[in-house]
C-alpha cells in the first residue's frame, strides 16, 4: 500500500500566514509542525551546541548558514513522530536546503508543496499591525492581548516598520522565489490564495492536499 502520510512544505512571503496555517494543519492531522525558527529559538534559550552556534552567527548580524539549519531539520525529521508526516514551516529557504531535503525524504512519499500567495499591499498591512510575544516570540492572532501559548505580553516586531517590511518583501522576491520555481513543475505543487479569511485558506490547503493524494514522482 502507498504511504499515505502527508509531508508538506509551506511556502509564502512574510505575512502570508504560513505559521498559522502550518500549525492548524499539523494540529488537525496529528502531525508535527517543524518550524526552523522555533527550533532555533528553543536551542538558543536551551544553550545547546546548535543554539550557541546559531546565537554567535545571529549576534554578528549574519543569517544562520545552511549547514546549521540542515542539521537541525535532519535531526528533527529523524524523530519518531515525523514518520507519520510533518509540516515544514520556514524550510527550505535556499536551493541547497531544498535539494538536501529531497535527499532526506527520498524513501518517503513525495513532498506536497503549498505556496500561499498574497498581494504585496495586503502583506504590508498585515505585517505593520502584527504583534509577537515578548517572551516566546509567537506571532499573536488578531484580537488578543496576551500570548495564547505562554501568556506573555505582546509587542510589535522591530522590523515591522512599513519601509523595512517593503524591503523584506523585496528580499523574499529576489531570493526565496527561486524555491517556488524549484518546486513549481512538480505534480505535487499547488498555489493557494492567501488573501481571504483564515478558514477559507485552510479549506483551500486541505483541498490542495486532497488533489495530490496518490500522486507519486
Q: Which of 41, 84, 157, 186 is catalytic?
A: 157
pLDDT tens readout for residues 40-77: 877 788 888 777 887 787 666 566 788 888 988 998 99
pLDDT of residue 1: 35
- Is the pTM higher than 0.85? no
Q: Which residue has the cell 494540529?
A: 27
Could you give the angle at the alpha carbon of 62 between the alpha carbons of 56 and 64, nearest 5°?
70
Strand, helix or coil for residue 212: helix
Helix (H) or strand (E) holding 7: strand 6-11
pLDDT in tens, 104-144: 999 898 999 999 999 999 999 888 887 888 888 777 776 78
Q: Is 24 a catalytic residue?
A: no
Q: Write down the residue that cell numbers 509542525 correspond to.
A: 33
Grid cell at residue 101: 531535503
- Greater confidence (29 vs 40) lies with 29
pLDDT of residue 177: 81
pLDDT higher than 70, residue 216: no
One-character DSSP codes across 38-90: HHHHHHHHHT-HHHHHHHHHHHTT-PPPHHHHHHHHHHHHTSGGGGGEEEEES
Instruction: Estimate the share of the chain in helix, then strand, then coil, as percent rounded to the nearest 5.
Output: 50, 15, 35
Active site residue 41: no
146 is catalytic: no
Please identify which of the residues 33, 76, 93, 126 carries the catalytic annotation: 93
Domains and CATH numbers, the chain: 6-212 (3.40.50.300)
Catalytic residue among 130, 166, 177, 186: 130
**Residue pLDDT, tens place only, 140-195:** 776 788 998 899 998 876 656 788 888 888 888 887 788 999 999 999 999 999 99
Q: What is the pLDDT of residue 157?
A: 67
217 assigned to active site: no
pLDDT at residue number 8: 97
Q: Where do we find the cell 509567537?
A: 138
Locus of grid cell 523585496: 170
Catalytic residue among 7, 18, 29, 126: 18
CA dist., res. 214 & res. 188, Å (int):
10
- Output the CA torsion sign for 128, 130, 135, 136: negative
Gap between the Cα atoms of 175 and 127, Å rounded: 19
Q: What is the DSSP letter of 118?
A: -
Which residue among 7, 24, 126, 168 is the active-site one?
168
Amino acid at each position: 500500500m502507498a504511504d499515505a502520510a502527508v509531508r508538506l512544505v509551506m511556502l509564502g512571503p512574510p505575512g502570508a500566514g504560513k505559521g498559522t496555517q502550518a500549525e492548524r494543519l499539523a494540529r488537525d492531522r496529528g502531525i508535527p509542525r517543524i518550524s526552523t525558527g522555533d527550533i532555533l529559538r528553543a536551542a538558543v534559550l536551551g544553550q545547546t551546541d546548535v543554539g550557541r552556534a546559531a546565537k554567535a552567527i545571529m549576534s554578528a548580524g549574519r543569517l544562520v548558514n545552511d549547514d546549521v539549519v540542515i542539521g537541525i531539520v535532519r535531526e528533527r525529521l529523524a524523530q519518531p513522530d515525523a514518520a507519520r508526516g510533518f509540516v515544514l514551516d520556514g524550510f527550505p529557504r535556499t536551493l541547497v536546503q531544498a535539494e538536501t531535503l529531497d535527499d532526506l525524504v527520498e524513501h518517503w512519499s513525495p513532498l506536497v508543496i503549498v505556496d500561499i500567495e498574497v498581494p504585496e499591499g495586503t502583506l504590508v498591512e498585515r505585517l505593520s499591525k502584527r504583534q509577537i510575544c515578548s517572551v516566546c516570540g509567537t506571532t499573536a492572532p488578531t484580537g488578543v492581548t496576551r500570548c495564547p501559548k505562554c501568556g506573555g505580553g505582546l509587542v510589535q516586531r522591530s522590523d515591522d516598520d512599513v519601509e523595512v517590511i517593503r524591503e523584506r518583501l523585496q528580499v523574499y522576491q529576489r531570493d526565496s522565489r527561486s524555491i517556488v520555481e524549484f518546486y513549481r513543475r512538480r505534480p505535487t505543487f499547488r498555489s493557494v490564495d492567501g488573501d481571504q479569511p483564515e478558514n477559507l485558506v485552510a479549506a483551500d490547503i486541505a483541498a490542495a492536499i486532497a488533489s495530490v493524494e496518490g500522486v507519486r514522482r
